[in-house]
Amino acid sequence: MSIFCLGVNHKTAPVEIRERLAIAEKAVPEHLSEIRGIGPIEEAVVLSTCNRVEIYGSASDSGDALEKLVDYLVDHFEVEHGEVEFYRHEAEQAANHLFEVASGLDSMVLGETEIFGQIKKAYATAQQNGATARRMNKLFQQSFTVGKLVRSNTRIQQGSTSVGAAAVDLAEKIFGKLDGCRVMILGAGEMSRVTAQSLQSRGAKSIIVSNRSFDKAEELAKELQGKAILFDEWMNHLHKVDIVISSTAAPHAVVHKEHVEKIIDQRRGLALFLIDIAVPRDIEDEVNEITDVYLYNIDQLQRIADDGVKRREKQIEICRQVISGFLEEKGIEALAEVPDSRKQKPDFSEGPTAGRTVTDS
């Protein structure tokens, strides 16, 4: 009896293929039942996300199971034999692959945590549908342990990987929780919208939108559940906001040092974070010289994002060492060692950053 994994991901298949193989959440139970009906396959877990479709399982003959699984996918989805390059992993390789996926090493955004929750959900669905037994239970429990180990013992999550994420991370390094933060958007462009939404996702609430075209300001304000103001009025609101995102199409600076100096006393020691994502720049460089004011332009944010990506890439090897160390210590043999009477119960209570709290005893 051995475990296996078959799948495609964003590195091996374009979106045109992935979308054809994608398994809708509702259809998963039916597929799980059918997959377990395939000859040697005893257990199965289906992981279907935007970036990957993977099937994990255990079978008396994993080589045979993988062949039959490919036939099954060709029969049930709009793909042809030879059209898709599935990766196939068996035994320790399959476990290693799942551990890397759970750790975010196989993700499009290196080290992201969403995949951890997706694996938990996939496993829970399989469990609820009776598609898992001791091997899959053990394997997935171990993957949760490894995912947490990697995240708490390496810097794989450290640093931002996009301009939007860099802006949000900086805001959090200035204000802590963004719950009470008020945001003003100058220029209702796409980048402003995306950045404001990122801030909103972390708790920023009150959003003011100011644009030369008031209609556009109103449109964006409505989308962000904020308030639109005339472009001439933004100065009157500057002292009330904590974060300014500027991306107007103006050919010259819109926010000058004098504008900020005028209002900084009214802020009574509260910091002001200015994000200038416009080219040409909207905010004078000298604004950053003012105490308690932090100005970042698009290049500076991009540099932080690039640096974040590099930092995370440097961590890949360390993460792999953690995974291989775990596999050496616990070993794939452990999957066979667990007696039926000690079947694992899943632990869905903790997130990936919760530390080394789940053991696989």
Partner 1 sequence: MDDWYLIISTLIFLVGFLLAVISLRRGRKGEVGLNFWLAAAGFIFQCLFLRERGELHGRCPITNGAEVLVFICWSVVILYLALGKAFRLSLLGVFSMPLVFVFQLIAIISLAANDPGPRPPETLDPWLEMHASMSLLAYGAYGLACIAGIMYLVQNRQLKSHEPGRLFYSLPPIKYLSDAIIRLLVIGTVLISVGIIAAFFMQVAPEAVHLAASGAVWLIYFVIVLVQFIRRISPKRLSVLAIGAFVFALVTLSVL
Q: Which residue, 40 or 159, has its beta carbon nearer to partner 1?
A: 159
Site string for partner 1, 108-147 (x = CB under 8 A): ----------------------------------------
Task: List binders of partner 1 among 269-288 (CB under 8 A).
Answer: 269, 271, 288
Structure tokens at 79: 């793909």
CB of 124 to partner 1, least distance (A): 26
From residue 235, alpha-carbon distances to 3, 74, 157, 269 in Å are 63, 61, 38, 19
The one catalytic residue among 5, 50, 181, 319: 50
Q: Does 159 interact with partner 1 (rule: CB under 8 A)? A: yes
Q: Does 262 interact with partner 1 (rule: CB under 8 A)? A: no
The amino acid sitting at 265 is: D
Q: Which residue, 155 or 237, has its beta carbon nearer to partner 1?
A: 155
Q: Which residues pair with 294 in a beta bridge?
A: 273
Q: Does 153 interact with partner 1 (rule: CB under 8 A)? A: yes
CB of 196 to partner 1, least distance (A): 20
CB of 168 to partner 1, least distance (A): 13
Segment contacting partner 1 by CB under 8 A, of 136-144, 184-192, 291-299, 330-338: 291-299
Task: Decide if 5 is catalytic.
Answer: no
Q: Does 347 interact with partner 1 (rule: CB under 8 A)? A: no
Q: Does 292 interact with partner 1 (rule: CB under 8 A)? A: yes
Segment contacting partner 1 by CB under 8 A, of 26-34, 89-97, 189-197, 293-301: 293-301
Q: Which residue, 41 or 183, has its beta carbon nearer to partner 1?
A: 183
Q: Which of 77, 87, 214, 294 binds partner 1 (CB under 8 A)?
A: 294
SS3 letters for the chain?
A: CEEEEEEEECCCCCHHHHHHHCCCHHHHHHHHHHHHCCCCEEEEEEEECCCEEEEEEEECCHHHHHHHHHHHHHHHCCCCCCCCCCEEEEHHHHHHHHHHHHCCCCCCCCCCCHHHHHHHHHHHHHHHCCCCCHHHHHHHHHHHHHHHHHHHHCCCCCCCCCHHHHHHHHHHHHHCCCCCCCEEEECCCHHHHHHHHHHHHCCCCCEEEEECCHHHHHHHHHHCCCEEEEHHHHHHHHHHCCEEEECCCCCCCCECHHHHHHHHHHHCCCCEEEEECCCCCCECHHHHHCCCEEEEEHHHHHHHHHHHHHHHHHHHHHHHHHHHHHHHHHCCHHHHHCCHHHCCCCCCCCCCCCCCCCCCC
CB of 195 to partner 1, least distance (A): 17
CB of 248 to partner 1, least distance (A): 22
Q: Does 302 interact with partner 1 (rule: CB under 8 A)? A: no
Q: Does 173 interact with partner 1 (rule: CB under 8 A)? A: yes
Number of residues that bind partner 1 (CB under 8 A): 26
Residue ranges that bind partner 1, judged by CB under 8 A:
152-155, 158-159, 170, 172-176, 268-269, 271, 288, 291-292, 294, 296, 300, 303-304, 307, 355-356
Catalytic residue positions, numbered: 50
